[in-house]
A and B are shown apart, each in its own frame.
Chain A
Amino acid sequence: MLAPPDQMRAGPPRAGVARRAVLRAVLRGAGAAALALAAPAVARAETPTDAGPIRLPGPWGETRLARPARRVVSLGYTSQDGLLALGVVPVGLRHWFGDHPYGVWPWAQPLLGEARPVLMRGEVSIETVAGLAPDLIVAAGSGIGRAEHDLLTRVAPVLMQAPGRPVFGSPWPEDLRRLGLALGRAARAEALIAQVEDAFAALRARRPDWRGRSAVAAWRNGGETGAFMPADSRARFLADLGFRAPEALSRLPAPGGFYATLSPEDLSPLDADVLVWISSFDRAPDLAALPMRRTLVAHREGREVFAGPLVAGALSFGSVLSLPYALRALEPEIAAALDGRPGTPVPSAVRAGLAP
């Protein structure tokens, strides 16, 4: 069982689970939970209620908690972000990729503070998990199998993704809502979701000219060049900024659904109004040296953006904390690419050596 290659990571559909309905149900069920909406960094315990145990459905049975969890082991490759956003520092967490202290990327580091969680690499070690004596194990997006799940439930309740969701493709707001319920911080989860959705809405209002223009998230890896399909988290991110996918992209075969591989003899499907290169490992020299890239109009007119390891990581994480980070990083870059003047330098493309 290996981690999802970040390039292939499924995209969390961000649209519409009925947020209000859930919120209403939560408020009814948990009584008047304290509406500690703002300041996610402040850990304020929302009072546990006597409304009975917390119960969450999962693909392999229900997760039951007598009281909101506080000592949490995070086995999902990205679930540490949600926990930190909700103000609970996990006692142990899973390494996905990148070299960041304790496996916590820069967008979440301030929330980690002085904490020193145990970083778990490779396969899940039941012994390590048990040694941490958690009262909740978050395994949504971890890729563990049924047998591991059943074994882990003997250590502590295990929270998986919602039933029917793909292991690496459950929508982040849904995962965050479930985390919020398990931690007794449902209201804060709703507030965080609203904050991120508002940030995207505010950007679309700020940049009305982006609406309807075409954008592609592209990758180059191991000698292959390709594009992320509309279902992927990176392409969805661009869609959330108001962009549309070029038509040539939808005609490409994408066996896994999330990305298409192009022939090195024809990169024309990448020739959109904005071409965002996603490079999670440092492969900028390969891109800069790719002769076929120079035949793209987007290249000649300076409409390429380079999302280096940090921004690419933020898009791969696709979490409540990483998405605003990616938004802040990419907005000025895309604006420089789309300003209508080929001469305007796009800082990231210049740094990566991609500028015309």
Chain B
Amino acid sequence: MTAEETENKSLDELQIEQLEHSDPHRTEQYKSISKGEKLVSIQNLSMVYKTDESETVAIQDFNLDVMKGELVSIIGPSGCGKTTILRAIAGLLKPTGGKIMIGNKECIGSGPDRSMVFQDFALFPWRSVRKNVEFGLEIAGVPKEERKERAMRYLKAVGLENFANSRVHELSGGMKQRVGIARAMITKPDVILMDEPFGSLDAQTRNIMQASLVNMLAKTDTTVIFVTHSVDEAVYLSDRIVVLTKRPAHIKEIVKVPWPRPRDRSSPECTAMRKEILGELEKENVMN
């Protein structure tokens, strides 16, 4: 079997896993939402930071709908508050105004329906690789044997089945983030929030990780909101790219990326789109 066949086989297993173990509470609620229909809806989100002297408006009236199975990336000038938006969706920050809906339910606080992948991986160093992946299931009270079996399937899907018992510090950056992705996917979130997940990896590992993410997404109908500062990454991965203005952040434009994945990053149309978005971002930076 070639490496590609092996990967496809483990991804098939991932697909089975995704279908087999559905959280009855959540699937009941969103059963009606199928691929391509509106799943996440961010309405009039605003974030204001107050200090004694001043009031900083980080985000103003941010509106975005994300369809099921879609990968939407958020890109913008540095410091514009893209991570703040993501953390607000995750429930790690309380928005000053507006609300976040999944289906017809408003999200308050954090929960396993919106799991997150972090730039600095945020893996638990005292847990083995497998136990890190199991964390969300452990929290949900899934029995030990089932936990183990499901974690192994996800580790296989990210190509780390031989590292199940390794410690986190023994892994390379790319491997760590594979664990982070497996850990975020295992709870079957409605949406996975990725906060510059490949930002701390070297360029080559980054490309490999992007390609594996595309592979995984093709097999599942996972919805992803992806924050990045790399235009190349956004064009390679996204269905839509949300370009933000500088602070207070609001949407400058939403670029639709019409080509199917996997994409050729050096194709003329990708290059043209990169150039266009880079131009838009540059304008934001100059206008300071």
Q: Do A and B bind each other?
A: no
Write the residues of chain A forming the contact surface with B, with a CB cutoff of 8 angstroms: none
